[in-house]
Amino acid sequence: MNTLEKILQERLVLSDNKIHVYLIQFNLFDSNECIQYLSEDECIRAEKLKIEVKKNQFVITRSVLRLLLSSAVGKSYQDIDLFYGEHGKPSVNESLNNKPIKFNISHSGGYALIAITLNNKVGVDIEEINLDINHQSLSKRFFSEQEYNELQNIDEGQRCDVFYSVWAKKESFIKATGQGVAFGLERFSVSLEEGCEAGLEVKTPVPIEKVWFTYNLLDLDGYKTALTTSTINSEIIIHQ
């Protein structure tokens, strides 16, 4: 399992045909130790988070991200400049061989995911499963008509599990586009299939800039994970 020591020792080599995904288990990290790797602005942002769990999630995830980017570009973590796009997605002004570095992060419950690649838009999502959630109401509101109808055909005992799988895929897609919820969760469809060997094309009622593919990432008890990218042949390397 990834630890701060392991992250510090690991050399990250990026290419445009590989996507590296890091699974971070929060209880293996000390946020008091991690905070030294944050920028001044990030420290201020962390201090504004009054819920301790949220603060720890932010500090650990952002510090690991900085260290990974530092390793990839061969610069000090202090020299990594992050900025936020129009819809709040963090990005970095770094490139390798004139190709931009792309990343995305997600956290839920006791885990985080960080995806990093080169010259390839990517979105990642992790969702902790809440068996008490009203998935019927949420799917009616946020799923496409196709997704909602297919979900109703799933055995009731499995419906919550499939709901979270679809939700993670949809979140990873809107994060990959950079538009977030502004894209509209109900405006596109992902597959309800659970297989993760191959990416499945995201379907939209009107043409969009790129063809996108979504993947189930890994089996994690009590969670669903997904990744979306604009290429179907990228190798996904999971570090856990």
Q: What is the pLDDT of residues 155-190, one digit of tens each?
A: 998 999 999 999 999 999 889 888 766 677 777 888
**35-43 mean pLDDT:** 95
Dihedral (CA of 174, 177, 10, 219) sign = positive
Q: Do 235 and 19 contact (CB within 8 A), yes or no? A: yes
What are the residue ranges spanned by the domains of the chain?
A: 4-124, 128-230
pLDDT attached to residue 181: 63
- Distance, CA of 69 to CA of 54 (rounded, Å): 22
Q: Do 175 and 124 contact (CB within 8 A), yes or no? A: yes
**95-104 mean pLDDT:** 88
Which is nearest to 85 in space by CA: 47, 46, 35, 121? 121
pLDDT of residue 210 exceeding 90: no
Query: The domain 4-124 is classified under which CATH number: 3.30.465.10, 3.90.470.20, 3.90.1150.10, 3.30.200.20?
Result: 3.90.470.20
Which is nearest to 86 in space by CA: 180, 209, 184? 180
pLDDT attached to residue 198: 47
What are the CA-CA distances from residue 219 to residues 113, 167, 225 (Å)?
13, 16, 8
pLDDT of residue 61 exceeding 60: yes
* pTM to 2 decimal places: 0.91
Matching fold, domains 4-124 and 128-230: yes
Least confident interval from 60-74, 124-138, 204-218:
204-218
- Distance, CA of 212 to CA of 203 (rounded, Å): 8
Residues in the chain: 240
pLDDT attached to residue 138: 92
Which residue pairs, CB below 8 angstroms and at least 24 apart, start in 152-156?
154/192
Strand (E) positions, the chain? Answer: 18-25, 82-84, 90-92, 95-96, 99-108, 111-118, 122-128, 200-201, 213-216, 223-229, 235-239
What strands, in cross-sheet order, belong to the sheet with 223-229?
Answer: 122-128, 223-229, 213-216, 200-201
Express as a percent the part of the chain with pLDDT over 70: 90
pLDDT attached to residue 208: 55
- 85, two tokens: 């796009």
Q: Do 240 and 218 contact (CB within 8 A), yes or no? A: yes
CATH number of 128-230: 3.90.470.20
pLDDT of residue 193 exceeding 80: no
Amino acid identity for residue 175 in this structure:
K
**105-117 mean pLDDT:** 97
pLDDT of residue 196 exceeding 60: no
- Distance, CA of 174 to CA of 169 (rounded, Å): 9
The average confidence (pLDDT) of the chain is 88
pLDDT band at 114 (very low <50, low <70, confident <90, very high): very high
- Distance, CA of 186 to CA of 153 (rounded, Å): 19
pLDDT attached to residue 95: 80
pLDDT attached to residue 197: 47
pLDDT attached to residue 54: 95
Residue 111 DSSP SS3: strand
